[in-house]
Every structure is written in structure tokens, then in C-alpha cells.
């Protein structure tokens, strides 16, 4: 049975912004860039990384298990507070859901439209307050392919030279191992956890 998605994918954009603003660090040390918020199914409450009472989701769980393995049993709100205290922040390349569009070839034009322009770069510098010292981690293959070169050319500090696997459909452990190694190799905030021992 096909999933029925919310008809207006931009319906919750302002709620996303309000939720993320609460957990924006005064100084962002590590910026995670994902593709987009997940599109809510019709008549269902939307899931989002920064919604305190929302489901955890694969991406949220995988990042938090790497950063805070000892504290992972805490409520989502507490994990978000720890994430903020460590100077971490996550944004989406596209602020509204695009996963309902299907494969990357259908999604990539939206990413290019939103991000491959000076307006998006200005947003990073002036709204998100990212500078050349901010360590940027690009999540998902198409995000890395489309944005890594652009960001580097504009003087941003992109850590990963290759994409991180998206943590879904059995790739959660692979993502956690890749992220853990990336953070350690670049002296970022991370827990001392051996790869493949993150539960």
C-alpha cells in the first residue's frame, strides 16, 4: 500500500524554524547538514529532529548514540540540550520535506534550487552564524556531491571528503562508525567509543 503524504510539504516550515531556534548554540562548533525534514504522512504528526515530543528517528538516534552513548537513555529534550551545549547544530539543505519526491534524481533539482546560490551561503554566514572555523559535516551522498565543492570554494570548512551513509534501511551502524571516525580524526567533540561497539 502506497504511503499518502501531507499534501502541502511546506505546511510546517515555521514550526521547524521555531523548534530549531530554541536549540541553536551561541557559537556553532559543528554543523550537520542533512537533506530535508521527513515528509509527514497524511493525518499524522510530522517528525522533525528538533521536535521535543516527536519520534526520535534514525538520524537523531544515530547522531546521539555517537555523541552521547552514556546518556542515550535520556529523554529527547535532554539530548537536544546536550547537543546544543556541545556547540552542535543541524540544518536541512532544503527547509521543507522532499523525501516524498522519490529518488535523488527527483530531489536534486530542489536542492540545487535552494542551495546553489549566494542567498543560501549568506544564510549560513548571517543567519546560522557559520564561519571558516565551523566544522561542517554533510550527510547523505547527494548532499555531499552537490554541496561539498560549493562550500569549500566559498571558504567553508567541510570535514568529510566523502559522503556519510544515511542511517536508515540497515545503514545505521555504518553511519555511526563513519561519523565516529570522522569526529575523532578531526579532533571534534565525541565520545570515546570504538567503531562497531556503538549499540
pLDDT for position 154: 92
| Contacts for 156 with CB less than 8 Å, ≥ 6 apart | 124, 130, 132, 134, 136
Q: What is the pLDDT of residue 60?
A: 93
CATH number of the domain within which 171 lies: 3.40.470
Radius of gyration of the chain (CA): 16
pLDDT for 27 equals 93
Evaluate whether residue 21 is within a structural domain. Answer: yes
Domain that holds residue 147: 14-185
pLDDT computed for residue 155 by the predictor:
93
How many domains is the chain partitioned into structurally?
1
Q: What is the mean pLDDT of the chain?
A: 84
In the predicted model, residues of the chain with pLDDT beneath 50 are 1-2, 191-199
30 in any annotated domain: yes
pLDDT of residue 90: 96
- 6: in domain: no
Amino acid at each position: 500500500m502506497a504511503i499518502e503524504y501531507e499534501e502541502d510539504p511546506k505546511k510546517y516550515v515555521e514550526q521547524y524554524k521555531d523548534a530549531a531556534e530554541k536549540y541553536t548554540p551561541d557559537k556553532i562548533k559543528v554543523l550537520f547538514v542533512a537533506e530535508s525534514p521527513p515528509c509527514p504522512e497524511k493525518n499524522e504528526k510530522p517528525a522533525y529532529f528538533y521536535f521535543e515530543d516527536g519520534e526520535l528517528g534514525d538520524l537523531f538516534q544515530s547522531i546521539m548514540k555517537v555523541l552521547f552513548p552514556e546518556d542515550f537513555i535520556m529523554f529527547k529534550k535532554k539530548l537536544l540540550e546536550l547537543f546544543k551545549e556541545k556547540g552542535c547544530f543541524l540544518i536541512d539543505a532544503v527547509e521543507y520535506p522532499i523525501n516524498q519526491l522519490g529518488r535523488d534524481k527527483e530531489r536534486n533539482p530542489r536542492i540545487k534550487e535552494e542551495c546553489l546560490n549566494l542567498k543560501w551561503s549568506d544564510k549560513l554566514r548571517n543567519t546560522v552564524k557559520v564561519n571558516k572555523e565551523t566544522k561542517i559535516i554533510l550527510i547523505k551522498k547527494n548532499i555531499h556531491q552537490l554541496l561539498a565543492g560549493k562550500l569549500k570554494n566559498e571558504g567553508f570548512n567541510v570535514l568529510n571528503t566523502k559522503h556519510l551513509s544515511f542511517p536508515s534501511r540497515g545503514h545505521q551502524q555504518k553511519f555511526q562508525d563513519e561519523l565516529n571516525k570522522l569526529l575523532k580524526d578531526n579532533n571534534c567533540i565525541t565520545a570515546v567509543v570504538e567503531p562497531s561497539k556503538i549499540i
